[in-house]
């Protein structure tokens, strides 16, 4: 099987709060013969404060990252963090659609910015190699889970062009490919509060409670995510979430890479499963299939 070589943009969270995401991603990539080439001397993508304060900076920062990837000869760049992915994709879109912005960024960066690498999120990358996954499954992931996409993977539609904006299904397909069941639920793309996790955690508690409540009500045994912020809001802030709920929830929140890693039979330590706040454990016997549509 030939290696798939992809540019890898870790961003800040994969080296900090979401090391479990990074660990499981690398383990799964290795198992699926994907070579993740870290972009040399990458810089901040401009998420959180950057894009709120300065429009030029918000485009120039990610474009600079993509230029470094282009220089390294990488036709595709994968950003696992949904926020990084959104910044990179938005910058590409703006360069492609606004000649004025393009000229401005070119003058700041002192270079021409044609033929930028394609920006991928982690689900798009895994979907590219989905035919490699099924033959390597050693232990089917026989759990019923809620796939939670959050806001940034699929929106805005004209920027990401990924999946169905209001009712995405690509992550559900990946879970199904490793033997898992996914529930049909209503909160796939609802807001989790994102960076309010730090500034106003009570908001995150209120928003996360709705998401967790619906997932549990429909008998999900875990929530699967592909974004560091979704993960920390539903995992790290579970205390705040449970304060809002009558019935406490204790189902774990897994990254999609951890789910695939488990099915591929990778050791738990390599997948960072020990780093969660809500312990990763599943009921001994699978529950009855959900009856709610």
Kindly list the residues in this chain that would bind another protein in the complex (CB under 8 A): 156-158, 164-167, 184, 186-187, 190, 214, 292-293
The per-residue DSSP string of 113-160 comes to: --SPPEEE-HHHHHHHTHHHHHHH-SS----EEEE--TTTTT-SHHHH
Measured CA to CA, the distance from residue 169 to residue 182 in angstroms comes to: 10
* Cβ-based nearer residue to another protein, 56 or 292: 292
CB of 166 to another protein, least distance (A): 4
We find the least distance from the C-beta atom of residue 270 to another protein, in angstroms, to be 37
CB of 127 to another protein, least distance (A): 19
Residue 254 is classified by DSSP as E
In whole angstroms, the minimum distance from the beta carbon of 148 to another protein comes to 14
**Cis status, amide bond into 156, omega within 30 of 0:** yes
Strand (E) or helix (H) holding 18: none
Instruction: Give whichever of 287 and 292 is closer to another protein, judged by the CB atom.
Output: 292
Compute the least distance from the CB of residue 193 to another protein, in Å: 14
**Enclosing H/E stretch for 10:** none
| Conformation bin of residue 251: beta by default, left when phi > 0, alpha when psi is -120 to 50 | beta
If the CB atoms of residues 20 and 172 are measured against another protein, the closer one turns out to be: 172
Whichever of 103 and 292 has its CB closer to another protein, that residue is 292
How far apart, in whole angstroms, are the C-alpha atoms of residue 258 and residue 235?
Answer: 14
- Smallest gap from residue 186 Cβ to another protein (A): 3
Strands 181-182 and 34-38: unpaired
Provide the β-strand partners of residue 145: 182, 222
Supply φ then ψ for residue 225, to 5 degrees: -130, 170
* Cβ closest to another protein, residue 19 vs residue 155: 155
Q: Which residues pair with 144 in a beta bridge?
A: 181
Question: 72 or 191: whose CB is closer to another protein?
Answer: 191
Closer to another protein by Cβ: residue 232 or 249: 249
Cβ at position 98, least distance to another protein in Å: 17
User: What distance in Å separates the CA atoms of residue 130 and residue 142, rounded to the nearest whole number?
Assistant: 18
């Amino acid at each position: 099987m030939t290696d798939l070589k992809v540019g890898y943009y870790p961003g800040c969270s994969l080296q900090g709060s979401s090391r479990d995401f990074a660990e499981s991603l690398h383990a799964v990539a290795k198992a699926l013969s994907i070579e993740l080439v870290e972009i040399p001397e990458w810089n901040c993508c401009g998420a959180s404060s950057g894009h709120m304060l300065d429009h030029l900076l918000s485009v120039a920062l990610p474009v600079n990252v993509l230029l470094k990837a282009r220089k390294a000869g990488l036709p595709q760049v994968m950003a696992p963090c949904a926020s990084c992915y959104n910044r990179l994709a938005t910058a590409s879109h703006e360069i492609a659609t606004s000649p004025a912005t393009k000229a401005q960024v070119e003058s700041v960066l002192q270079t021409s910015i044609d033929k930028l690498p394609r920006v991928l999120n982690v689900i798009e990358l895994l979907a590219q190699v989905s035919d490699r996954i099924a033959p390597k499954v050693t232990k089917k992931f026989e759990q019923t889970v809620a796939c939670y996409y959050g806001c940034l993977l699929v929106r805005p539609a004209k920027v990401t062009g990924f999946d169905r904006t209001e009712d995405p299904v690509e992550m559900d397909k990946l879970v199904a490919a490793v033997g898992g069941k996914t529930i049909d639920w209503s909160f796939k793309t609802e807001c989790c509060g994102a960076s309010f996790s730090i500034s106003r955690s009570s908001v995150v508690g209120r928003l996360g409670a709705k998401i967790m409540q619906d997932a549990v009500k429909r008998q999900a045994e875990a929530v699967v995510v592909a974004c560091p912020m979704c993960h920390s809001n539903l995992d790290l802030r579970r205390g705040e979430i449970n304060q809002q709920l009558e019935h406490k929830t204790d189902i774990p929140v897994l990254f999609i890479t951890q789910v695939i890693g488990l099915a591929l039979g990778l050791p738990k330590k390599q997948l960072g499963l020990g780093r969660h706040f809500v312990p990763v454990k599943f009921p001994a016997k699978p529950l009855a299939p959900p009856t709610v549509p």
